[in-house]
Amino acid sequence: MTSDMLLYLMGGVGVLLAIIVIAYLVLKKKSDTDEAKQIRRLREGTKEKSFSTEVMYQKLYVIYLKIPFLKRYILKLRRRLSIIHMDDEYLTRKQASKILTRTLCIVFPLAIIIIVITHENTLLMGMLLIFELFMVDTFIDGMVDKLDNKLLREQIDFFAEIRHAYHEFNMVEEAIYQVAQDDDKPEVSRQAEKIYEVLISDDPESELEKYYDIAPNSYLKEFAGISYLTKEFGDRKINGSSLYLKNLNNITQEMQLEILKRDKLDYTFQSLSVISILPMLAIEPIKNWAVSQFSFTAGFYNGRNGMLVQILLLVVTFICYVLTRKLKDNGSTAMNTKNTDNPWQEKLYRIKFIKKIVDLFIPKDGTKEYMRLQKTMKDAATKDKMEWIYINRLTLCIVTFIASIFLIMQLHQITIYNVYHDPTTDYNIIGQMTEKAEKDAMKTTESDNQYIDHFKGNIHVTQEEIQKEMRRGRINKDYIDSKDADVADAAERVLGKLQIINTEQMQWFEVLIGMVLAIVAYQGPIWLLKFQAKMRQLEMEDEVMQFNTIILMLMKIERVSVEIILEWLERYANIFKEPITRCVNNYESGAWEALEQLKEEVTFQQFIRIVESLQAAVEKIPIADAFDELDTERDYYQAKRKESNERLIERKGRIGRVIGFAPMVILFVGYLIVPLVFIGLTSMTKSFDYMQASQNH
């Protein structure tokens, strides 16, 4: 660059700088005018920050909807959150996007860790990444449960404020309206506004039924129902206290017990899910450590047996993970997060060809098998249709069979690969081989591979033929000058490898194994339903205790009949819902007979006592007298309820610990200790035999 050009460049930069300074001074002078100052004052405090998490989550929600895989999860979250955030589209989108974003922030780093740890084992890496998809549901459910628990805790404060407002206005709807104006608790305030709209509507009874379908928990249903009955029939004074406020207190006590129960369940199961998953991440590190410290285990960990134990561990971990989730379920949200209107099973079933195949497996209506399965579905309280269950069974059956055949073929390939690539040693050693020993072992392997390639496919080859070929030296010159004993040992070794390679093909019994595994997978969904039904039986006593609370609230309200009590029990029932529904449907044709049929259909003694008291209230005595022990022994029932919850949590905890620690036991016992002990003893025996033979020579 010449001096003239440099001078022109510096002059141009100076002129540009002068223009910028002049423009700044002019703009500053204009901005100091009164009009500009007034505009700035008006905009002050209303201007959005350059970065807003609110806007970010709304944009992310739209992005997630466009991604096929993430769309499923965002819609699942939306269905569940829309119940809590009633009629608030903005908040529903924000919370759904926020939860999914946090989940992805956990899942993606975990996926990177899995890839780094298992990058040399493609099969294990693939299975772990697939399994990670199931973990997304755990994270999502946990975060939504926190919101649901938050709503439950806010309801306790909400009911306390209702008490004060009711003392002031002495009108149910006015008290609810007053408390609903509180902006500090938007979730529960939104529910209060909806209940207020129900109470002041032209047809509150039908509107109340609609609200029952969308209420986020049973306690808000009870509150809405008691508020409606009090508004319609009026409040009463019982021992100088308001019956409405006394019922509010009963509901509050129920919520407090439920919160304690959920907290204890969360504490009991908070680490079990993680413990059941951790063994999967420890498979590769344990394998690498064992092979580095005890080289005689390389054949096991890199071979077929090691892969079989890995697969077994992965399957057991998956089963234990699912069972732990089912066991931990605290019923915090009754809302089913599945797309029950049009799931993938329903879309598949609409295809005529598939529908014909599925219908062949579904038992005929009226058969024993059909009724038995229907009863299992009811006991498990599943929302799935029978057609969907059979699609799940057939899909699992087919996928398991294909995966089993693929894995068996993969195991054959692994065995052949190990024969060709593992170092060949005459004895096993503890620790790593030296570099020289490893090179010599690989030379032996390469030499054996040449003879293997030459004789491969000849299943009738003998050791003598291999020895002759070694002596001829046509394939390689390694054994021309060797002793007869060394040649015989080498030929025996090559023959053993040949027999492995020639037999590593798909056998008929392996196809049979795949079919057996497919049949087991076909039964899987049914076994899961039976497990759910078993877990629900553990909560029978808790549900009956809730029935007692409902009856206690209703029995002193005037004009409440046995039929109304049954309708309420049906509304809040879970385990006993089906028999109570039949009783309600048959009630008009004969109250006593309908209750007698209900008593015959159930076997739980505490619920039978409730039915007998209802029978007494039908013909003989008033409802309040039939259930007078509920009022007089209220403290006893509360203590019994607490003790029942503790026993339930303890029982679930014991089962959960057995299930949660099962993968860890298999990992250390089946994948580490047993192989080390068994293979170690075998290797030591061979090593001693080799050293003794060397001394004899």
Alpha carbon distance 281, 314 (integer Å): 10
Alpha carbon distance 164, 177 (integer Å): 13
Q: How confident is the model at residue 81, as a pLDDT? A: 78
**Position of tokens 């407090």?**
256
- Backbone torsions φ then ψ of 149, nearest 5 degrees: -65, -35
Q: How confident is the model at residue 337, as a pLDDT? A: 44
CB 541 within 8 A of CB 643: no
Beta partners for 242? 237
Handedness of CA 573, 574, 580, 581 (dihedral sign): positive
Instruction: Give the model confidence (pLDDT) of 359-376 as tens digits.
Output: 899 888 888 888 888 888
* R_g over Cα of the chain: 37
Alpha carbon distance 36, 33 (integer Å): 5
Spatial neighbors of 516 by CB under 8 A, at least 6 apart, are none
Residue 7, amino acid: L
% of the chain exceeding 70 in pLDDT: 85
| Ranges of each domain in the chain | 79-87+116-270, 433-506
Q: Report DSSP state, residue 294.
A: B
Alpha carbon distance 359, 352 (integer Å): 10
When mean pLDDT is compared over 108-112, 192-196, 395-399, 608-612, the highest value belongs to 395-399
pLDDT tier at 412 (50, 70, 90 boundaries)?
Answer: confident
CB 313 within 8 A of CB 123: no
The closest alpha carbon to 543, from 578, 582, 569, belongs to 569
Within 10 angstroms of residue 598's Cβ, the number of other Cβ atoms is 25
Alpha carbon distance 162, 180 (integer Å): 9
Instruction: Give the model confidence (pLDDT) of 176-186 as tens digits.
Output: 888 888 767 77
Nearest 5°: the CA angle 653, 656, 662 is 140
Q: How confident is the model at residue 332, as a pLDDT? A: 40
**Position of tokens 């100088």?**
240
pLDDT exceeds cutoff 90 at 334: no
Q: What's the mean pLDDT when you consider all of the chain?
A: 79
Q: How confident is the model at residue 333, as a pLDDT? A: 37
Nearest 5°: the CA angle 82, 86, 87 is 100
pLDDT exceeds cutoff 90 at 398: yes
Instruction: Give the model confidence (pLDDT) of 510-528 as tens digits.
Output: 889 889 999 999 998 998 8
pLDDT exceeds cutoff 70 at 656: yes
**Percent helix, strand and coil across the chain, each to the nearest 5:** 80, 0, 20
Burial of 124 (0-12, 13-18, 19+ CB in 10 A): buried
Handedness of CA 442, 444, 447, 449 (dihedral sign): negative
> What is the per-residue burial (b if ≥16 Cβ within 10 Å, else e) of 100-116?
beebbeeeeebbeebee
pLDDT tier at 29 (50, 70, 90 boundaries)?
Answer: low
The closest alpha carbon to 604, from 528, 536, 550, belongs to 536
Burial of 632 (0-12, 13-18, 19+ CB in 10 A): exposed
Residues, the chain, total?
A: 697
> What is the per-residue burial (b if ≥16 Cβ within 10 Å, else e) of 515-535?
eebbeebbebbbebbeebbeb
Alpha carbon distance 84, 483 (integer Å): 85
Alpha carbon distance 69, 129 (integer Å): 14
CB 148 within 8 A of CB 217: yes
Q: How confident is the model at residue 516, as a pLDDT? A: 92
- Backbone torsions φ then ψ of 342, nearest 5 degrees: -150, 65
- Backbone torsions φ then ψ of 363, nearest 5 degrees: -65, 150
The three-state secondary structure class of 684 is helix
Least confident of 313-327, 507-521, 650-664: 313-327
Alpha carbon distance 251, 218 (integer Å): 10
Instruction: Give the model confidence (pLDDT) of 58-102 as tens digits.
Output: 888 888 888 887 888 888 888 777 777 666 777 888 888 888 888
pLDDT exceeds cutoff 60 at 537: yes
CB 261 within 8 A of CB 149: no
Q: How many helices (H) and strands (E) does the chain have?
A: 31, 2
Long-range contacts of 323-326 (CB under 8 A, 24+ apart): 323/531, 323/659, 324/269, 324/272, 324/273, 324/276, 324/656, 324/659, 324/660, 325/137, 325/138, 325/141, 325/273, 326/528, 326/531, 326/532, 326/535
CB 570 within 8 A of CB 584: yes
% of the chain exceeding 90 in pLDDT: 4
> What is the per-residue burial (b if ≥16 Cβ within 10 Å, else e) of 165-184?
bbeeeebbbbbbbbbbeeee
- Residue 289: alpha-carbon gap to chain centroid: 31
Q: Taking the CA of residue 128 as centre, how many other CA atoms within 13 Å lie in the half-sphere pointing to its CB?
A: 26
The closest alpha carbon to 192, from 161, 213, 168, 167, belongs to 161
